[in-house]
Amino acid sequence: MKIKSMTEKFYTTLLVFSFLAIIISPLLIKDMAIAIEETPKELPFKPAEKQQAPPFKPGEKLTFRLRWGFIIAGEASLMVLPNKKINDIEAYHFALTAKTNPFADVFYKVRDRIDAYADLNMTHSLLYEKEQREGSSERDITVTFDWDNRTAQYTNREDVRKPIKIKTGTFDPFSIFYYARFQEINESIIITRSVTDGKKKVIGQATVVKRETINVPAGTFDTYLIIPELKDIGGVFEKSPDATIKIWLTADERKIPVKLASKVIVGSFVGELVSSEQMPIETEKTE
């Protein structure tokens, strides 16, 4: 098997965590843009379901071990950082870091970070930033949201794209994961939402299949199994006719991801929760 195929799929596994329930990654969306206005599967805009308390709070940190077959290739962390003001709007600050371990570094070194911001009612995204360091490739991506004109704009250093039209309630590919955690989850329901990476816009969809108990390094959990629809996902998923992604969320008020498994033409990959912790909180500066 070519090293390139292995590393491409490994990176795919990292990014899948950033779009848990709906699985739309900026690097995996097909080249053909999908006009949301013409998409029949779109549901009417629906704010996040209100609960007695949010399923997460600043300080939450989830750490995952990522495996390709029996080989441990790296780790990813999901964090909820202190709230921050974006354009004078109080916002949640979500962060993801992903890195290969020393063994995988020899073949393809990955050091990525994503920062995403959404309003405190979890109704839409406010800003998305991605620092991508993979092998010899470097990208510094920013997606800004103009809700007065209902547009999103992608920038990667000198590559500045034209703003694209988006729907009310649209999220970026990372904040959407936290929106999903605000939803009431039961067997057989379908989660649907508008998502953009600033270049394209899609409708993501995932089905809650069943409830089951699973074991991961962090412990034993009662979970819901979620299977996302992959028809709008490109990359290695598009090249694998029988590709699947399975995601397990805890069946409690936190709805944290504890396991992800994918099977494609180049092999099977698993991400498992290693630890869940509450970090000390320090107030962030306003930008």
Q: What pLDDT score does 267 carry? A: 60
Total domains, the chain: 1
Q: What pLDDT score does 166 carry? A: 95
Q: What pLDDT score does 48 carry? A: 56
**Per-residue model confidence as pLDDT tens digits over 215-257:** 999 999 999 998 877 655 544 344 445 667 888 999 999 999 9
Q: Kindly give, in sequence order, each residue whose CB lies less than 8 Å from that of residue 251, ignoring residues fewer than 6 positions away.
A: 185, 211, 222, 223, 224
Q: Residue 63 corresponds to which tokens in the numbers above? A: 């750490």
E strands present in the chain: 60-68, 71-86, 89-100, 111-119, 125-134, 137-146, 151-156, 159-160, 164-165, 190-196, 201-216, 219-228, 244-250, 257-264, 267-278
Asked if residue 280 is part of any domain, the answer here is no
| Entry field: residues in the chain | 287
Asked if residue 77 is part of any domain, the answer here is yes
Asked if residue 154 is part of any domain, the answer here is yes
Read off the pTM. 0.79
Asked if residue 101 is part of any domain, the answer here is yes
**Per-residue model confidence as pLDDT tens digits over 160-217:** 999 999 999 999 989 988 988 888 888 888 888 888 999 988 887 788 999 999 999 9
Asked if residue 91 is part of any domain, the answer here is yes
Q: Which residues pair with 77 in a beta bridge?
A: 63, 97
Fill in the amino acid letter for 128.
Y
**Per-residue model confidence as pLDDT tens digits over 21-66:** 223 333 333 332 333 333 334 444 455 555 558 899 999 999 999 8
Asked if residue 114 is part of any domain, the answer here is yes
- Could you give the percent of the chain with pLDDT greater than 90? 44
Residue-number span of the structural domain to which 92 is assigned: 3-274
